[in-house]
Chain A
Amino acid sequence: MKTCTPIFLLASQASFWFRFSICSLIVTLGGRKIVRCGNPSGREENSKTMDAKPQDVTGEVTMDVVRHLERLAYLQLSEVDRASLVGDLSKVLGYARSLTRLDLTEFEPQTHAMDQANVMRADDVQASSTLEQALANAPQAASPYLQVPRVLE
């Protein structure tokens, strides 16, 4: 294993440029004979997930959908917020509906602005924050720890 020496230097940034396609190049390694122990599990047929989908058959955003999103996003809303969001989300999603109906399969999804790849840093240790800095913005601290409300499992 490599020895870890902290060096407080700038790591040079290696960036290679080429068009990146989501279609991945698979490099397969030389195979060997497989002797499987036990029987095939048969677990695959049971990988059905409990569906958490908000009901949206019509595309209408209902109060139930808003409440579901509120739970997902850990975002407490007032009744007034909820009521206006039912309308606002319906309007915005209605506006986006024409987009969802287009056949765009010829276009690869573009999740980043630029076609970059392999921008990495060397494994160099840099200085960490002081304890004081680390706790500076904590709403509550019990040095040397951040403190948060009781976690009920």
Chain B
Amino acid sequence: MSTTTPSAISVQTIIGLEIHVQLATCSKLFCGCSTRYGQPPNTQTCPICQGLPGTLPVINSQAIDLAMDVGLALEMELVSGCRWDRKHYFYPDLPKGYQTSQFDLPITRKGRLEFRDPTNAETICSVRINRAHLEEDAGKSLHGEGVDGGTWIDLNRTGTPLLEIVTEPDLRSAQQAKAFLQQLRTILLYIGVSDCNMQEGSMRVDANVNLRIDNSNETVATPIVEIKNLNSFRNVERAIEFERDRQLQHWRATGERMGQRPKQTRGWDADREITTVQREKEEAADYRYFPCPDLPPVVLSVEQIAERRGKLPRLPQQWKSDLIRVWKLSDYDASVIVEQGRDMAEYFEIVARISQDGKRSANWITQEIMRLLNEQQRAITQFPISAQQMGELVAAVANNELDHARAREIFALWLEQPLSLGEAKQRLGIASISSDEVEQLVADIVAQHAAAIDDYRQGKKQALGPLIAQAKKLNPNVSPAKFREALLRVVEG
């Protein structure tokens, strides 16, 4: 975003993101240990992920498949003949002293992701993806826990497959960064490659931020700062905003430019809402990358890629256009449903297919169901009413077998008890009534409310409302629409 400041300089925030996504495999990248989250410390390790001398890695083929899916979804090139490299650094949560990663031949590269600019709905942003490579996760350090302030190490997470997605520095505001991440997350969830659970660390974001300042006479760039391990979209947004202000202030104070100091790593302190310096080394890290001799390369054949592409789940964009085209939803309704994730879109599709009424299905879902899920902080998969049941209910309303009010009663009952539609109707005393019964009811009401009928006949159209309410009171099963129709026949006839 360009901001014009009093001294007539324009400042642009330049942002690139590195997103670590934990792939949804059952076992780790190079060994058979489970990747389940939240198990007791050091119970999901084996000699291989403990890095014991003599052990060797063997690639998990599922990680390759999931990485291919991401490449296909983000319109990237898949690199046939991708290679494994060792990235050397010492840290106690890295038992081998190197991380097995992909350096110059990542599995996939050069893609892009489009999303609507949150600050200008007219603009579609397109962010270039530089690469996405596979690597193993490190373990977890718990600092200052041991005697003498020692650090505790839990290696359960060590060796979990990660896909690191690296963007080009194409983002220009904190809001754009957040919108990009939301869009990315939606896509990853649709293709099922990760649960993207940020609290559990399945999706972690580092942001590279600097400023481009246009003075009247020159353009300068401030040194790049990497903000590490941002664990919520809100934190991404806040940290970038903070960093933009901090860098501008720092530049005003020192005039320091890119190249005049090494890249700094800062961490986001969510409590104080500031970034703090984590590391600044005079020497750039020398990771001494070299091809891992224990792992043969992975060569993707054209057939294999075509097969994977054929199996790729529908992407959110396709879902949205399908909802609009097949079920005649508005752009808005389709977006709301699709953004909820694949489970919600699938739920909708079942309800719509059974009820054959897309618009009504969308209304029920976006108004009733999503409100409840929001209140209870639950996912659609945990919702007590199945899509089949919901479909039957919407169908009954669509076919005028139920009025909306009675359908809501059934809906409320279903939230409490798992009953069939028939059982619920019976429980609530809902029965279909004959036209004779409706006509009898009209006759009774007309007889009892002569004054109101007169009012209506003299043009007070709203006089009918209380009569309909009265009829529902006398017989809750009467359809207001049918009653109104019969009443009008008598009154106007």
Q: Interface of A with B (CB < 8 Å)?
A: 1-2, 4-6, 13-14, 16, 18, 20-32, 34-39, 41-43, 46, 48-52, 72, 74, 111-114, 116-131, 134-135, 137, 140, 142, 144-151, 153
In the assembled complex, the CB of A45 is this many whole angstroms from the nearest CB of chain B, namely 9
Contact B40 A25 (CB under 8 A): no
Q: Would you call B419 an interface residue if the criterion is a C-beta within 8 Å of the partner chain's C-beta atoms?
A: no
Contact B31 A126 (CB under 8 A): yes
What B residues does A46 contact at CB under 8 A? 221, 224, 258-259
What B residues does A134 contact at CB under 8 A? 42-43, 45, 50, 155
Interface of A is mostly: loop
Contact A111 B293 (CB under 8 A): yes
Contact B60 A120 (CB under 8 A): yes
Contact B296 A116 (CB under 8 A): yes
Give the complex CA separation of A50 and B279 in angstroms.
15
Contact A149 B32 (CB under 8 A): no
What B residues does A23 contact at CB under 8 A? 81
The one of A18, A29, A146, A151 in contact with B76, judged by C-beta atoms closer than 8 angstroms, is A29
Chain B interface size, as a band, is 35 or more
Give the complex CA separation of A43 and B223 in angstroms.
10
Q: A37-B123, A37-B176, A123-B60 are in contact. Are A147 and B34 (CB under 8 A)?
A: no
Give the complex CA separation of A125 and B76 in angstroms.
30
What B residues does A112 contact at CB under 8 A? 291, 293, 296
Contact B27 A50 (CB under 8 A): no
Chain B 23-52, CB-CB to A under 8 Å as 1, else 0, gives: 011110001111110001111111100101
Contact B59 A128 (CB under 8 A): no
The one of A31, A121, A146 in contact with B75, judged by C-beta atoms closer than 8 angstroms, is A31
Contact B75 A43 (CB under 8 A): no
What B residues does A6 contact at CB under 8 A? 26, 34
Contact B124 A128 (CB under 8 A): no
In the assembled complex, the CB of B205 is this many whole angstroms from the nearest CB of chain A, namely 18
Give the complex CA separation of A26 and B258 in angstroms.
34
Contact A129 B212 (CB under 8 A): no
Give the complex CA separation of A37 and B27 in angstroms.
39
